């Protein structure tokens, strides 16, 4: 049996009418009978295109204010029937015509949400009949064509014009693929909308002063109360929220450590340290880069006591996050108005899916939960790191994961003493990290180095070796890995591979 299928009957029901008259003209020219509904039917008849109303086919008028138009066995039977003797005999007995082409787009749900429309209006833009028609036609692509976007009309018209109203199986299958991608994304949009409601059915919506810059508008849609409680300070801004998110992500790596403090600026860590007391952790984190710490975001994984608060209070900062605060510390920290104090939920875990708008759509990915443990390390040099070096390497690898690529981190005694991030070359990131460590009085001798991605050449390892590092942690995976390994073996440097890259763009 030929894979080509002649279109005899088409169902057209679209929200966006752009180009649909040209499509209908092409179909009529190829002898196709058109069935249509509501606004689409009027649009086509106003342009002198002959159509049959769906209600004449089904014997039922549109009902419930247009909520039910095409949901009928005479419609779906004609779409879903296989073109074999058994199914066609059933259609003949029930006086149901086959429908060979379905032209349907979906109500603009996402645009309606973005417009700030009422909840009731948004609900009416959840497509039911349309998405059912799309899925039915796509499922039966062996025999039925599905056009789910006006952007497909031009190519489709060309094909049926050249092939006298017929389509190939390849075309039908590609259009079905596009249709299922559309329905999947549409369902995700609806799910995301409903997920933004709290248990009481309310939709938290935080109007922010502005976006990244004063001329940009911004809002946060979600429930911040599940993540933190604001104790004091000014209204949280867009940039604050972005930095708070980055701070919580990095601290999620150090939940099990005793006392850890991280300081961030523009989502990048400029200081982080783990110590045996809160005040020591704070002082060590600040020492990493006291210049960048000015106006930064501070996060601790422990209760803030008076000694720590007194020291932090000397610095100008934007936000301080901690799981808890002593009562007397709050009185001190609140004395400087405007600085934001947040008590965060220690059980908070970054969302499993990350979304980002891109071009004319969005991309999504799973969160980078990859965590490297001692048993995950692959020792690739003749010398093995000792326990202290392994602890430092794992610490460094946690840091490098949360800095913008390309990035290099130097760690010594559970403290990040230097880093280069967001550089266009790895060697620049290494050079910058070394210079930064020296600028704040750190001795790189005895430190370890981490890289978010592999070394294509041994230049970074050589540069770091000349400063006195003893061990390196990196993902590995370069076709020239052996060059770096050979350099380390020759100069007594230990190197371990994790097998996991941590690009952050």
For the chain, what is the mean pLDDT? 88
- Which CATH number does the domain 226-344 belong to among 1.10.10.10, 3.40.47.40, 3.30.360.10, 3.40.140.20? 3.40.140.20
What's the rounded Cα separation, in Å, for the pair 394 and 401?
11
Domain ranges of the chain: 5-195, 226-344, 377-497
Candidates 313, 314, 340, 347; CA nearest to 329 is: 313
Topology (CATH) of 5-195: Rossmann fold (3.40.50)
pLDDT at 116: 66
What's the rounded Cα separation, in Å, for the pair 416 and 437?
9
Interstrand relation of 101-104 and 9-13 (parallel, antiparallel or unpaired): parallel
What's the rounded Cα separation, in Å, for the pair 146 and 103?
6
Catalytic residues: 139, 266
pLDDT at 308: 97
pLDDT at 274: 96
What's the rounded Cα separation, in Å, for the pair 348 and 351?
9
Between 276 and 191, the more confident residue is 276
pLDDT at 67: 61
345-355, pLDDT tens digit by residue?
988 888 788 88
Lowest-confidence segment of 48-62, 198-212, 389-403, 429-443 by average pLDDT? 198-212
Mean pLDDT over 256-270 rounds to 93
CATH number of 377-497: 3.40.140.20
pLDDT at 52: 84
Between 168 and 444, the more confident residue is 444
459-481, pLDDT tens digit by residue?
999 999 999 999 999 999 999 99
363-394, pLDDT tens digit by residue?
888 888 888 889 999 999 999 999 999 999 99
pLDDT at 74: 76
pLDDT at 447: 97
What's the rounded Cα separation, in Å, for the pair 394 and 400?
10
What's the rounded Cα separation, in Å, for the pair 146 and 133?
9
Between 454 and 51, the more confident residue is 454
CB-based burial, 269-288: b 16+ in 10 Å, e otherwise: bbbbbbbeebbebbebbbbb
Return the percentage of the chain with pLDDT > 90, whole number.
Answer: 48
Is the pLDDT confidence value at 176 over 50?
Answer: yes
Mean pLDDT over 426-439 rounds to 96
Mean pLDDT over 5-34 rounds to 87
Interstrand relation of 219-221 and 205-207 (parallel, antiparallel or unpaired): antiparallel
Write the CA distances from 10 to 30, 216, 297, 303, integer angstroms: 11, 46, 60, 68
Domains 226-344 and 377-497 share a fold: yes
What's the rounded Cα separation, in Å, for the pair 300 and 422?
25
């Amino acid at each position: 049996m030929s894979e080509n299928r002649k279109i005899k009957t088409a169902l057209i029901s679209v929200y966006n009418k752009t180009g649909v008259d040209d499509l209908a003209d092409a179909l009529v020219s190829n002898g196709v009978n058109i069935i249509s509904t509501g606004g689409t039917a009027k649009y086509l008849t106003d342009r002198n295109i002959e159509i049959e109303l769906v209600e004449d086919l089904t014997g039922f008028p549109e009902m419930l204010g247009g909520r039910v138009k095409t949901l009928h066995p005479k419609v779906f039977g004609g779409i879903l029937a296989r073109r074999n003797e058994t199914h066609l005999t059933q259609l003949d007995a029930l006086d149901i015509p086959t429908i060979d082409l379905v032209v349907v787009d979906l109500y603009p749900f996402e645009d309606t949400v973005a417009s700030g429309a009422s909840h009731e209006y948004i609900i009416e833009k959840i497509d039911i009949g349309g998405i059912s028609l799309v899925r039915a036609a796509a499922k039966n692509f062996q025999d039925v064509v599905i056009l789910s976007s006006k952007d497909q009309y031009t190519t489709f018209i060309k094909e049926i014009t050249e092939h006298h109203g017929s389509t190939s199986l390849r075309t039908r299958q590609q259009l079905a693929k596009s249709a299922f991608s559309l329905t999947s994304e549409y369902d995700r949009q609806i799910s995301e909308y409903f997920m933004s409601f709290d248990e009481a059915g309310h939709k938290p919506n935080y109007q922010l002063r502005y976006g990244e810059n004063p001329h940009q508008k911004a809002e946060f849609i979600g429930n911040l109360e599940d993540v933190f409680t604001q104790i004091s300070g000014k209204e949280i801004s867009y940039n604050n929220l972005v930095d708070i998110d980055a701070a919580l992500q990095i601290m999620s790596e150090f939940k099990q450590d005793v006392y850890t403090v991280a300081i961030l600026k523009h989502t990048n860590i400029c200081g982080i340290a783990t110590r045996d007391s809160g005040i020591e952790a704070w002082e060590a984190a600040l020492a990493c880069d006291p210049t960048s710490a000015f106006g930064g975001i501070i996060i601790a994984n422990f209760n803030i006591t008076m000694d720590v608060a007194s020291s932090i209070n000397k610095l100008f900062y934007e936000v301080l996050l901690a799981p808890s605060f002593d009562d007397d510390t709050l009185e001190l920290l609140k004395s400087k108005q405007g600085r934001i104090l947040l008590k965060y939920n220690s059980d908070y875990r970054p969302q499993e899916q990350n979304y980002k708008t891109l071009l004319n759509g969005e991309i999504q990915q799973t969160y980078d939960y990859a965590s490297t443990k001692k048993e995950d390390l692959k020792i690739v040099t003749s010398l093995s790191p000792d326990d202290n070096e392994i602890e430092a390497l794992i610490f460094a690898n946690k840091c490098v994961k949360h800095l913008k690529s390309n990035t290099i981190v130097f760690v010594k005694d559970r403290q990040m003493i230097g880093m280069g991030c967001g550089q266009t070359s790895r060697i620049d990131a290494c050079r910058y990290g070394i210079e930064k460590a020296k600028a704040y009085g750190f001795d790189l001798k005895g430190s370890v180095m981490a890289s978010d991605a592999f070394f294509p050449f041994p230049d970074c390892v050589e540069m770091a070796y000349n400063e006195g590092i003893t061990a390196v942690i990196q993902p590995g995976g370069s076709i020239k890995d052996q060059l770096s390994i050979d350099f380390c073996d020759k100069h007594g440097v230990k190197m371990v591979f994790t097998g996991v890259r941590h690009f952050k763009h």
